[in-house]
Amino acid sequence: MATVVLDNGAGLAKVGYSTDKNPRLMPNCITKAKSVRTRTFIGDQIDDCKDLSGLFYLLPFQKGYLVNWEIQRQIWDYMFGKDCLKVDLHDSNIIVTEPYFNFNSVQEAMDEIFFEEYQFNSVFRCNPSFLSQYKHCKEKDQKPLCSIVLDAGYSFTHIIPYCKGKKLSHCTKRIDVGGKVLTNHLKEVISYRQLMVMDETYVLNQLKEDVCYVSQDFMKDMDIGRKKGKENTIARDYVLPDYTHIKRGYVKPIEETTGRAKDGEQIIRMNNERFAIPELLFHPSDVGIHEMGVAEAVVHTIQSLPEEMQPHMYSNVILTGGNCRIPGFYSRMESETRSMTPAEYDLCMKKPENPSTYAWEGGTLLAKDPQMKKMSVSREEYEENGHNICFEKFDV
């Protein structure tokens, strides 16, 4: 029987069969384009759109929680339907992720949709970090007792400790900085300094992914950013797409970076913005979010645990989520965490090859686990006991 694994992120949904090598990555939104008034684009249909300027987004998630069911259902219909996975719903199981600290009403609605509307054979609902730590345990020769997952996603960054595969909910921490905050801040900074781009979320998100990096020494990079001419090794020109000749924005090589646009080009000059934007992950107080940075929060979370767990936690830190793909994130995270970690403990951080899809890969492994049948809820059980059985079985 086929098992569908759906890591239903607020920004990017990762979906595929447990037998697939890689998931399909799908923006978890419905998009309308100015250039095409007649149709809406669901998920990755946006790749068919020729002009991506001034897109209008309909998002099922707000502030990290699923609030708009109409939109989410359209996206799921497309995912499971004939254009995408062609799922035979009655003969399929599903492993689906949901946000941390999810509301009961949202959970109930989710169970109802999967069992009553889609009529999946069985459902297993969990947090993405559960799948990440499951995969981490499977990859290690000696199964670790404890691990701590940093999940740096679209809406929030969460830090979740696990002991023997059980989540320690009372010690989970959340920082209100995610990929959306970084993109929005970049839009504001560019709009104030250079060019009005408040409507260009899609293009600016690509710009963030193409040129931003995490600085290893913020003040040193700021000094380099102040220099003129060839001495400034940080400044780059980013050529914006015009959707006639240039289909996607790109970074000019350093030798062509002059700060002046050639004929018909429109450029954004990225100087200290390249590293000042991702710096928010480490210092949210820079934009008035009075919370700890990610490295400090990891150490704080571990120190709030019983002392005998702490060395195990420090030696199994797993970095997942899209923000971990920003160049320099891993080394900065390691050096900052190491400086706050007691000297007698070893620190071992794991950065997966692709932090975005790590939880989905964990789901594909879990689907093959013989215990999976016990952990999930079958349609018969749901019809007999209703939502209560899901509430008892799922550790969310």
| Domains of the chain, residue spans | 3-128+356-393, 130-177+289-350, 179-279
Alpha helix (H) residue ranges in 194-263: 201-211, 218-226
Cα separations (Å) of 298 from 122, 294, 301?
Answer: 35, 6, 5
What top-level class would CATH report for the domain 130-177+289-350? alpha beta
CB burial class (10 A; 0-12, 13-18, 19+) of residue 86? exposed
- The band of 140, judged by pLDDT with boundaries at 50, 70 and 90, is confident
Question: pLDDT digits over 179-209, tens only?
Answer: 899 999 999 999 998 888 888 888 888 889 9
The pLDDT of residue 214:
92
Residue 189 host element (H or E): helix 179-193
Confidence check: pLDDT of 264 > 80: no
Q: What residues contact 43, with CB distance under 8 A and at least 6 apart?
A: 13, 26, 27, 28, 29, 30, 75, 78, 79, 84
| Amino acid, single-letter form, for residue 302 | I
Residues contacting residue 278 through CB under 8 Å, at least 6 positions apart: 182, 212, 213, 214, 215, 323, 326, 328, 329
CATH T-level assignment (fold) for domain 179-279? Actin; Chain A, domain 4 (3.90.640)
The model's confidence at residue 267, banded by pLDDT at 50, 70 and 90, is: confident
Is the predicted pLDDT of residue 259 greater than 90, yes or no? no
Q: Do domains 3-128+356-393 and 130-177+289-350 have the same CATH topology?
A: yes
Band of pLDDT at residue 344, cut at 50, 70 and 90: confident
Give yes or no for a contact between 162 and 168, defined as CB atoms under 8 angstroms apart.
Answer: yes
Find the mean pLDDT for residues 142-170.
87
The per-residue pLDDT for 392 is 83
pLDDT band at 141 (very low <50, low <70, confident <90, very high): confident
pLDDT for residue 62 is more than 80: yes
- The β-bridge relationship of strands 317-320 and 349-350 is parallel
Rounded (10°) CA dihedral 179, 183, 185, 188: -170
**pLDDT of 261 higher than 80:** no
Map residue 27 onto helix, strand or coil: strand
Options 3.40.50.1820, 3.90.1150.10, 3.40.50.300, 3.30.420.40; CATH of 3-128+356-393: 3.30.420.40
Spacing of C-alpha 218 from chain mean position: 24
For the segment 305-332, the average pLDDT, to the nearest whole number, is 89
CA distance 294 to 336: 9
Q: At what angle are helices 128-139 and 358-367 packed, to 10 degrees?
A: 70
**Which range (37-41, 67-71, 259-263) has the least confidence?**
259-263
Q: Which residue has the tokens 């209703």?
A: 386
In the structure, what pLDDT confidence band is assigned to residue 233 with cuts at 50, 70 and 90? confident
Taking residues 67-80, report their average pLDDT. 90
Residue 41 carries which side chain, given as an amino acid letter?
A: F
pTM score: 0.90
> Where residue 396 falls among pLDDT bands split at 50, 70, 90?
low
pLDDT tens digits, 348-384: 888 888 889 899 998 898 888 888 888 888 888 888 8
